[in-house]
Structure 1
Amino acid sequence: MPRKKRVWFSDAPGLDRQRKLHTFYLTDLETAQNNKKNGRVVGEIAFQLDRRILAHVFPGITRLYGFTVSNIPEKIKQVSMKSLDGSVDEKKYQAMTQRYSDLIAHMEKMGYHIDIHPVFSEFLINTYGILKQRPDLNSDPVHNSPVELRKMVIDTVPPRFLGDTLLLLSCLCELSKEDNKNLFAW
């Protein structure tokens, strides 16, 4: 077991014998910081999966504000509306609906449930947050390694959420293989 590095400081200047020492272990502080960073990675996994699903169903739409996996059926209707007369562009509607149903059918074979996992993804994103900046995959390849991400998820997520979180990671890995992009596509 590695030896912990000790750091201390006093909370009041003055005489040495009057100082009250507080001891902190650097490794404990680093662990807490890493857990916060790892938590953001967990949130990023859920976020990236949601973005991949939305990009698959709505190709060519770059601004997906207000779009969530939970509201895809409503957004399909909204996006397929013709602006001139308010009627539905049936060809566009059918194409998006088909992409959506094909993708969900594929993910359901992996264990993804449309009634549970979109809401669970939102929960993870809101709980853990997402990465503040784009990771450098050359210097930190962890963000593109399913094995390392799996270890990070296991170390970070409470046991009762672990199965569903690992399922989201598996779905992200599968979609990443299919579209030939990094796990965290920016």
Structure 2
Amino acid sequence: MHPLQNSQQLHRMQRIIGEIAFQLERRILASIFEDSVRLYGITVFTTPHKITEVATDHQSGQLDTAKQSELTKKYKDIMEKLNNCGYDRDIHPAFSEYTVNTYGIIKEYPPPDSSDLQGLLNPENLKKVAKLTVPAGDLKDVLILLTCLSKLSEEDGKPVFVW
């Protein structure tokens, strides 16, 4: 029996777990592809391929090696930073995708200045949600994703979840 009181509460908490993975993905991609307003269809898992695609002129087919180098450097820099938080680029991009697909994301955000919203923006509260919600086999990796998201949030001065 799960320690949570009802299935609706469990479902809400699961979506928070998916949102952690989703928000981390968006933060990573936004730091690499700063010029791109739309990140639709790009994942951290596909970033190396997407770098080449973005650096290629679509009319001439010519690869802009300077742009490719710039984007690759951004990718390597953020991966190194996240690696210091336990992130493994051979594991966590696919794990993030799995987490979003398994748990979903938050569909309705709490009202501004509500206690529910404040709870979602507090990494310690999110850690408690993870410990109550995530199976033991996945908990370590979810906590790594949360640590990385918190680190990026501290660095850019934005809330943990940016909507």
Shift of 1:118: 0.6
C-alpha separation in 1, matches of 2:86 and 2:140: 10
How large is the Cα RMSD of the aligned pairs? 1.5
Return the letter of the residue paired with 1:88: L
Out of 117, 131, 151, the position equivalent to 2:92 is: 117
1:150 maps to which of 118, 127, 130: 127
Q: 1:127 aligns with which of 74, 97, 102?
A: 102
1:169 counterpart = 2:155: no
Give the distance between the partners of 1:47 and 1:34, measured in 2 at CA. Answer: 20
Please name the residue that 2:17 is paired with.
42
Of the three residues 27, 35, 59, the one matched with 2:34 is: 59
Partner SS state of residue 6, structure 2: helix
Q: Percent identity?
A: 44
Gaps of 5+ in 2: none
Return the index of the structure with the highest Cα Rg. Answer: 1
Instruction: State the 1:136 CA deviation.
Output: 2.9
Q: Which has the higher contact order (CA 8 A, sep 6+)?
A: 2
- How many residues are aligned here? 159
Matched residues in 2 for 1:122 and 1:103: separation? 18
Q: Which residue of 1 aligns with 2:81?
A: 106
1:137 touches 1:144 (CA, 8 Å); kept in 2?
no
**What's the counterpart of residue 70 of structure 2?**
95
Q: Partner of 2:160 in structure 1? A: 183
Q: Distance in 1 between matches of 2:109 and 2:35?
A: 22
Which protein is richer in strand relative to its size?
A: 1
